[in-house]
Amino acid sequence: MSVITFLKNELQGWKIYEISALCIVFIIIMINAFVFNDSKAAVISAICGILYTTHAGKGKISCYFFGLIGTSFYSYLSLKNALWGNLILYVCYYFPMQVTGIFKWKKHLKADKQEIVKTKLTRKERIILITFAVVSCIVLFFVLKYFNDRSPVFDSITTIFSVLGMYLTVKRCIEQWLAWILVNGLSTLMWLGLVLQGAKTYSTLLMWAVYFILGIYFFIVWKKEMSEDVQ
């Protein structure tokens, strides 16, 4: 496939209101960065992160390219703000999983739209993953608390459910959006707390708030599309 053909496929399937909403969000991020003298790393992380989420929601394989860039800058922010769980998650898990996702998604693209074929978990798989998540959150909480993590409760939950969310994203499962809704909601609160304590990461806070809204939106979109495919 040529580069031009790839780009043409990636630009298909977007609605006008989706593009308009993206532009508005990016304008707000840039204005916010200028007014509050926000961290450049936070701005780049926010823009790439939102592009990753929207492209993943549209089933576009290019989401992983934005994800790799956003991951780099978010890792730096986590290091700077002593969020060790998030740092380990992004460096040791997100990077390799996003590279894996490129090859996995490439094998499951629709021929007409070049978008992924969406799936869902079985009941047994859901029970196993939920059990794993609860136990892992408890264990990680005590580990992070021992190492004086700044937000052990939020960091443990967001870290574990981010692991599940990324795993489900690569597997193309609709349940990923439920995991991301939880992660994004708690992350919004976590970064709000850091901003109130003086951290200049307003764009990161805005990014997570947008993620939360996108998670709800794409869960509804995927559920509708999968229902139509069954019919």
Q: Where are the domains of the chain?
A: 3-230
Mean pLDDT of the chain: 85
Give me the phi and psi of 14, to 5 degrees please. Answer: -90, 135
Residue 5 vs residues 1, 2, 8, 9, 27: alpha-carbon distances, Å? 6, 5, 5, 6, 29
CB atoms within 10 A of CB 14: 14
pLDDT attached to residue 2: 59
Q: Which helix (H) or strand (E) holds 126?
A: helix 123-146
Confirm if 89 and 202 have CB atoms less than 8 A apart.
no
pLDDT over 70 (residue 230): no
Average pLDDT over residues 141-159: 84
* Residue bearing the bigger pLDDT, 200 or 130: 130
Confidence of residue 5 (pLDDT cuts 50, 70, 90): low
Average pLDDT over residues 58-64: 88
pLDDT over 60 (residue 128): yes
pLDDT over 70 (residue 8): no
Average pLDDT over residues 157-174: 91
The pLDDT tens digits for 76-89 are 888 887 777 678 87
pLDDT over 60 (residue 173): yes
Confidence of residue 32 (pLDDT cuts 50, 70, 90): confident
Tokens of 79: 């290091």
Residue type at 90 in one-letter notation: Y
Q: What is d(CA 123, CA 30) in angstroms, rounded to the nearest whole number?
A: 43
Q: Of 98, 103, 132, 129, which Cα lies nearest the Cα of 116?
A: 103
Report which listed range, 22-36, 43-57, 147-161, 168-182, is most confident: 168-182
> Helix 63-80 and helix 95-106: axis angle, to 10°?
170
Confidence of residue 14 (pLDDT cuts 50, 70, 90): confident
Average pLDDT over residues 160-187: 93
Residue 107 vs residues 23, 104, 110, 133, 170: alpha-carbon distances, Å? 31, 6, 9, 28, 11
Confidence of residue 7 (pLDDT cuts 50, 70, 90): low
Q: What is d(CA 194, CA 202) in angstroms, rounded to the nearest whole number?
A: 9
Task: Give pTM, 2 decimals.
Answer: 0.82
Residue-by-residue DSSP string for 61-101: TTHHHHHHHHHHHHHHHHHHTT-HHHHHHIIIIIHHHHHHH
Please list the residues that pair with 173 across neighbouring strands: 119
> Helix 40-57 and helix 202-230: axis angle, to 10°?
0
